[in-house]
Chain A
Amino acid sequence: MEGEPRDSEQKKPYEPPRLVAVSLRPEEAVLGHCKTMRGGGPSTSCAAVGTCHSLGS
C-alpha cells in the first residue's frame, strides 16, 4: 500500500548520544616543535638551538 514505509526507509532504532573524549595534545597541535633537521634557528641545527625535537611518527 502506498504510503507505508519500505524496510530500507524505516527509521533507525534510537541510539542515545554518547560522549567521546578526543585527546588534544598541545605539542602536536601547535607548530614550532622542530622536526628532524629542518632547523629551528638561524643557520643552526636543532641541537645547536636546543629547543627542537623530532616529532616523527
Chain B
Amino acid sequence: MATVPARGLNPAGAMGADFGGEELSAHRSAVRIGGVSLAINGEAGDVALHPGLDNFKISANACDIEILVQWCEVMPAPPGRKIFYSGGVWTLYENDFYYVFDCETLPLGDEPYKRLFVNKNFSNGELLLNRKTVWPSKQTCPLEYPLDELLVTNWLSLRGAVEVHGCGLLDHETGGHLFVGNSGAGKSTTTELWRSHRKAGVLSDDRVILRAQGPDIWMHGTPWHGEVALASPECAKISRIFVLEHGAENEIEPLPPARAVGELFARCFPPFYSRQGLESVLAFLQHIALSVPCYLFRFVPDESAVEKVLNFQG
C-alpha cells in the first residue's frame, strides 16, 4: 500500500530547500489512470491537476504514486549521472537511490523549469517547480505532459503492464478490439469509422494501457488522447489485437507470437533506461501475444474496413 510522500527524497542540502518536519498539506488532488492512482500534494492551493485529467479524478487517501510539489528559487546541477535524453523536454539522471527527471526548454532559459525526484519503484516523488521559469498564475499544473504520463508508464512497466499507441474500441456485439499503430497508421480514422458505423465505445483514440487481469488482457483508456480527442477512464477485455497499416484493400494476416511481440514493442513506451523495466515489458508483451490473437490489418479507410473485422473468423 502506498503512503503519503516521504519527505527527504530530494537532498535538501543540495537543493537549498527545506523538506523536513512539515505535515502534508490539505491541498491534494488524485487521479486513477489505467488502474494506477496518482496524487499530487501541494503546500498551498497554487498547484492543481490539469483539466485534461478531470474525467480521471478520484478521492483517495493513499495512492500508488504520491508526489509532493515544492517551489524553489534556484535549480542547481542535477544530482546523479545522466542516463537518458528524451529528444524532447526531459532528461533523466539517476543515482543509487532515485531518478531525477529534468524538464527544460530553451525558450524558458538554461535552467530546468521543473525537476522530479522519484524513487526507483516510482511510488514516491518530489517535484520542484523553478520560480524563475514557471510563470506565476493562479494555479500551476505541475504534472502537465509529459510528467503525468512518464510517472504512470514507468510505474506500470515495473509491474507487468504497458502503454501502447492504439485506439481501444468496444463494440456492443463483438467486444473489445485494440488497433495499434504509430502516427499516421490510421488510429483516428479507425476510431471515427467504428464510432459512426457501429456506435462503438472509445476508451482512447491514441494511447491505451494494457494490463493482465486473471487470464485475460484488459485495455484501459487514458487521458492522453489523439486527434479525435476521446479519453475514457473505463476499461474492457481485449478480444483481438490488430496492427494497423494502410493497404490497397482490406487484408487480415495472423501474426505469429514472436512477430506480434516485435510489432507491439515498436508501438509501446518502454523504459529504455531500465533493464528491469525493459525485461518486464518484453515479458508482458509475450504474455499478450500468447493470450490474445494478434493480426496485421491492412485496411482502406472506409466502412468496408469495419465489415472486414466484423466478418473475420480468426
Contacts and interface: CB of A to CB of B under 8 A. Distances in A.
Interface in B159-197: 165, 181-189
Contacts, number: 131
Given A41-B108, A42-B108, A51-B88, A22 B266 contact: yes
A44 to B, nearest CB: 8
B149 to A, nearest CB: 5
B251 interface: no
Contacts of B144: 38-42
Contact of B185 (A24, A50, A57): A57
A49 B107 CA distance: 6
Contacts of A26: 87
A32 B116 CA distance: 14
Contacts of B145: 34-35, 38-40
A34 B88 contact: yes
By secondary structure, the A interface counts as loop
A1 interface: no
A27 B145 CA distance: 15
A40 B89 contact: yes
B133 A42 contact: yes
A53 B114 CA distance: 20
Given A24-B265, A39-B141, A51 B259 contact: no
A8 interface: no
B134 A43 contact: yes
A25 interface: yes
Interface stretch (B3-11, B22-30, B221-229, B303-311): B221-229
A56 interface: yes
Interface in B243-275: 259, 262-263, 265-270, 272
Interface core residue of B88, B113, B133, B265 (most chain A CB under 10 Å): B88
Given A38-B52, A56-B227, 13 more contacts: A22-B259, A23-B266, A31-B86, A32-B88, A32-B90, A33-B87, A38-B50, A40-B144, A41-B107, A42-B113, A42-B133, A51-B105, A57-B181
7 contacts: A28-B182, A28-B267, A31-B153, A34-B88, A35-B224, A39-B141, A49-B108
